[in-house]
Chain A
């Protein structure tokens, strides 16, 4: 008994015991379903039957124009959210750190508030703000500037705008907080010595702030890629369901949901899911690798 105890309490065994819950959860709630999904993607599955059909599901995906629309929407949404939700929060964080800001905490708290609201509630709010009626807020704004009311949720551009505005509204504060945290970890001495060398504000930002924010940037970009590619509920709530005119709001996960749950085609849905997984993993791995994330441990 004592032997067992001393092994359990040894410095060698401790890390394994610490990460044991992760291993268990990983195998039950990740590895097992993952394998099922992979198997199902090679099958034709209906109620009470399933048969192996090889790569047929994947071949079908290649010619599936609706799926291509979904991929296009997801990828563009991801790119746009990154274009908006990396520089803007960075700028906000930078400005917040300025000595001239009079109510830093109040600003920060208010900008963060939307993140507390569920997709369901914020989706309901945005859906009706973008109402096609003249009395909807966004149309009132258009009318105020003398522009005719538009059917926001019926065209690709305006629909994407609604989704992006929702994303920006919800995540602006969170990302600002991340960058703000990153900023506060930068040694003030660096700025002071730069000032001694005669650097202006822009040079300080470009040569000190930006490079030193890299870890934060990597983290935020990674979660943005993941979040963007897996976006579904936002579109589901804004369009009041999983169908949008001309599929302008359809995302990859939305298509997976349509195929797997709404149309009961588990095999094909699994193939959609795996393609999504491969694309998302590839993008984020390339990104992480190119920014030297995995080399860090050795340094």
Chain B
């Protein structure tokens, strides 16, 4: 029986470990920090469950919720926020919808995932009537992004206008004036000059193999869209071909490099920017917060500007990314939730917080021209960048197109991000052939 004693001993060790861990985590609970679930609002308020995938968004919702509860003593709300990683949240939401159980009252959904959640019988509440009071001031393309059959199912967060981020310090050092760059030809010429002047140390820009932002930008500039006809997507477009051919040329002549990490919004991408490896790159407005959060050392060096175009007169921007908040229509408090969410994200005061906390360009354009908000000297974004971001946003206000996200978009993005862009930019494949192959992959899904 000697060994059974031993087994007992091990079991006791396990138990001990359990208690040690158990106790220590209890003590941490007393300090009111529990996991990633946070409850905000009074106990007697209407209780809502909300899922999100970005930590910072929770801070924004929390502030708006506290404000709401102050202003509406008769409509108290308590929200239980759970933050999941991006992929897990969308997976969990899919599974919940399939089973019809455990669907949260509200959830953020990323724009690229949104079509998946509009398939078949839509479980969400149309928010048209809740959006109505603010509609005149909104960038309407953002509402359309989350619409189906004339119903708006998602409350948008931002416009996501693309701008060119220039590293002014480097460019000045090598005698380049970025404000004079109007077309891609100017951009390429500046790149040549930079290469010469820096002995190839600094690339003018970096091109992406893991993201389609450059391509949607090109489509926007030519006024094309690969999902012009959502049932019959076509990726063999002049805009895409021109963009990819131009990028291949940059790579060949050493003006550009392929972005480490696949695209600039990755940890590797931040390192590339922070090391001054690239002098410019186009990215959406929300990339400003990446600068303040992950590259504080670049403060005062980065300027925003409209993006160059192929031909004068083309649109100098494009709306990229986004988060739509959906409200579960079977939820007990669906209407209250919709009312709150529309106010939180679409009102002017909501827009102000979206700018202050998240650094986004709010959907409510009243905010854009409100100098008190946009030129607030205490704002960290105003302090960080060389020029005022809203000066640029206002300049391109009417040029922010949107390439709609439809069900087939997932397949297109997959084909480009996984295969086509790698073939063209890493392996130097023929652009036309690569696009034909991509079209084949897309057609397979839409026969």
Listed in ascending order, the chain A residues whose CB lies under 8 Å from chain B are 46-49, 63-66, 132-133, 151, 154, 241-247, 261-264, 266
User: How far apart are B263's CB and chain A's nearest CB, in angstroms?
Assistant: 12
| CB pair A264 B417 closer than 8 Å | no
Which residues of the other chain, A, contact B426 by a CB distance below 8 angstroms?
151, 154, 245
Which residues of the other chain, A, contact B423 by a CB distance below 8 angstroms?
246
Which residues of the other chain, A, contact B116 by a CB distance below 8 angstroms?
263-264
- A-contact bits for B97-132, CB 8 A (1 contact / 0 none): 110000000000000000010011111000000000
Which residues of the other chain, A, contact B121 by a CB distance below 8 angstroms?
47-49
Interface residues of B in 82-103 (CB under 8 A from A): 87, 90-91, 94-95, 97-98
Q: Does B422 contact A (CB under 8 A)?
A: yes
| CB pair A241 B120 closer than 8 Å | no
- A-contact bits for B370-412, CB 8 A (1 contact / 0 none): 0000000000000000000000000000000000000000100
Instruction: Return 17 A-B CB contacts under 8 Å, by A number.
Output: A47-B97, A47-B119, A48-B120, A48-B123, A63-B444, A132-B260, A132-B268, A243-B414, A244-B418, A245-B210, A245-B426, A246-B419, A247-B418, A247-B419, A262-B90, A262-B94, A266-B98
Listed in ascending order, the chain B residues whose CB lies under 8 Å from chain A are 87, 90-91, 94-95, 97-98, 116, 119-123, 209-210, 260, 262, 268, 410, 414, 417-419, 422-423, 426, 441, 444
Which residues of the other chain, B, contact A246 by a CB distance below 8 angstroms?
418-419, 422-423
Which residues of the other chain, A, contact B414 by a CB distance below 8 angstroms?
243
How far apart sit A49 and B122, CA to CA, in the bound complex (Å)? 11
How far apart sit A63 and B444, CA to CA, in the bound complex (Å)? 8
Which residues of the other chain, B, contact A132 by a CB distance below 8 angstroms?
260, 268
Which residue on A lies nearest to B95, using beta carbons? Answer: A261
| CB pair A263 B444 closer than 8 Å | no
How far apart sit A246 and B429, CA to CA, in the bound complex (Å)? 13
How far apart sit A242 and B414, CA to CA, in the bound complex (Å)? 11
How far apart sit A248 and B333, CA to CA, in the bound complex (Å)? 46
How far apart sit A132 and B268, CA to CA, in the bound complex (Å)? 10
How far apart sit A174 and B419, CA to CA, in the bound complex (Å)? 37
Which residue on B lies nearest to A63, using beta carbons? Answer: B444
19 further A-B pairs in the complex, CB-CB below 8 A; given A154-B209, A241-B87, A245-B209: A46-B119, A46-B120, A47-B98, A47-B119, A47-B122, A47-B123, A63-B444, A64-B444, A65-B441, A133-B260, A151-B426, A243-B418, A245-B418, A246-B423, A247-B418, A247-B419, A261-B94, A263-B116, A264-B116
User: How far apart are A140's CB and chain B's nearest CB, in angstroms?
Assistant: 16
How far apart sit A266 and B418, CA to CA, in the bound complex (Å)? 23
User: How far apart are B267's CB and chain A's nearest CB, in angstroms?
Assistant: 10
**Sorted from nearest, which 7 A-B pairs have the closest CB atoms?**
A48-B121, A46-B120, A47-B120, A245-B422, A46-B119, A48-B120, A246-B419
User: How far apart are B14's CB and chain A's nearest CB, in angstroms?
Assistant: 16
| CB pair A264 B98 closer than 8 Å | yes
Given contacts A47-B97, A244-B418, contact A263 B410 (CB under 8 A): yes
How far apart sit A107 and B268, CA to CA, in the bound complex (Å)? 38
Which residue on A lies nearest to B266, using beta carbons? Answer: A240
Which residues of the other chain, B, contact A241 by a CB distance below 8 angstroms?
87
How far apart sit A266 and B422, CA to CA, in the bound complex (Å)? 29
User: How far apart are A15's CB and chain B's nearest CB, in angstroms?
Assistant: 27
How far apart sit A243 and B410, CA to CA, in the bound complex (Å)? 12
Which residues of the other chain, B, contact A243 by a CB distance below 8 angstroms?
414, 417-418
Which residue on B lies nearest to A151, using beta carbons? Answer: B426
How far apart sit A151 and B116, CA to CA, in the bound complex (Å)? 33
How far apart sit A243 and B414, CA to CA, in the bound complex (Å)? 8
User: How far apart are A56's CB and chain B's nearest CB, in angstroms?
Assistant: 11
Given contacts A133-B260, A243-B417, A247-B418, contact A49 B94 (CB under 8 A): no
User: How far apart are A235's CB and chain B's nearest CB, in angstroms?
Assistant: 13
Candidate in A133, A241, A244, A264 with the most chain B CB atoms within 10 angstroms: A264
Which residues of the other chain, A, contact B95 by a CB distance below 8 angstroms?
261
User: How far apart are A105's CB and chain B's nearest CB, in angstroms?
Assistant: 19
How far apart sit A151 and B119, CA to CA, in the bound complex (Å)? 38
How far apart sit A133 and B272, CA to CA, in the bound complex (Å)? 11
User: How far apart are B59's CB and chain A's nearest CB, in angstroms?
Assistant: 26
Which residues of the other chain, A, contact B119 by a CB distance below 8 angstroms?
46-47, 264
How far apart sit A132 and B210, CA to CA, in the bound complex (Å)? 15
How far apart sit A63 and B440, CA to CA, in the bound complex (Å)? 11
User: How far apart are A66's CB and chain B's nearest CB, in angstroms?
Assistant: 7
Which residues of the other chain, B, contact A154 by a CB distance below 8 angstroms?
209, 422, 426
Which residue on A lies nearest to B407, using beta carbons? Answer: A263
Which residue on A lies nearest to B261, using beta carbons? Answer: A132
- A262's partner among B91, B417, B444 (CB-CB below 8 A) is B91
User: How far apart are B110's CB and chain A's nearest CB, in angstroms?
Assistant: 12
User: How far apart are A155's CB and chain B's nearest CB, in angstroms?
Assistant: 9
Candidate in B119, B209, B268 with the most chain A CB atoms within 10 angstroms: B119
User: How far apart are B100's CB and chain A's nearest CB, in angstroms?
Assistant: 8
Which residues of the other chain, A, contact B418 by a CB distance below 8 angstroms?
243-247
User: How far apart are A253's CB and chain B's nearest CB, in angstroms?
Assistant: 15
Which residues of the other chain, A, contact B98 by a CB distance below 8 angstroms?
47, 264, 266
User: How far apart are A119's CB and chain B's nearest CB, in angstroms?
Assistant: 16
How far apart sit A87 and B140, CA to CA, in the bound complex (Å)? 65
- B120's partner among A49, A151, A245, A263 (CB-CB below 8 A) is A49
Which residue on B lies nearest to A250, using beta carbons? Answer: B418
Which residues of the other chain, B, contact A47 by a CB distance below 8 angstroms?
97-98, 119-123
Which residues of the other chain, B, contact A49 by a CB distance below 8 angstroms?
120-121
Which residue on B lies nearest to A46, using beta carbons? Answer: B120
How far apart sit A263 and B445, CA to CA, in the bound complex (Å)? 12
How far apart sit A22 and B262, CA to CA, in the bound complex (Å)? 48
How far apart sit A229 and B94, CA to CA, in the bound complex (Å)? 26
How far apart sit A93 and B110, CA to CA, in the bound complex (Å)? 52
Which residues of the other chain, B, contact A133 by a CB distance below 8 angstroms?
260, 268
How far apart sit A64 and B442, CA to CA, in the bound complex (Å)? 11
Candidate in B87, B122, B210, B418 with the most chain A CB atoms within 10 angstroms: B418
Which residues of the other chain, B, contact A264 by a CB distance below 8 angstroms?
94, 98, 116, 119
User: How far apart are A27's CB and chain B's nearest CB, in angstroms?
Assistant: 21
Which residues of the other chain, B, contact A63 by a CB distance below 8 angstroms?
444
Which residues of the other chain, A, contact B444 by a CB distance below 8 angstroms?
63-65
User: How far apart are A287's CB and chain B's nearest CB, in angstroms?
Assistant: 33
How far apart sit A242 and B417, CA to CA, in the bound complex (Å)? 12
How far apart sit A65 and B120, CA to CA, in the bound complex (Å)? 27
How far apart sit A65 and B414, CA to CA, in the bound complex (Å)? 13
User: How far apart are A264's CB and chain B's nearest CB, in angstroms?
Assistant: 5
User: How far apart are A241's CB and chain B's nearest CB, in angstroms?
Assistant: 6
Which residues of the other chain, B, contact A151 by a CB distance below 8 angstroms?
426
How far apart sit A219 and B444, CA to CA, in the bound complex (Å)? 41
Which residue on B lies nearest to A242, using beta carbons? Answer: B87
Which residues of the other chain, A, contact B120 by a CB distance below 8 angstroms?
46-49
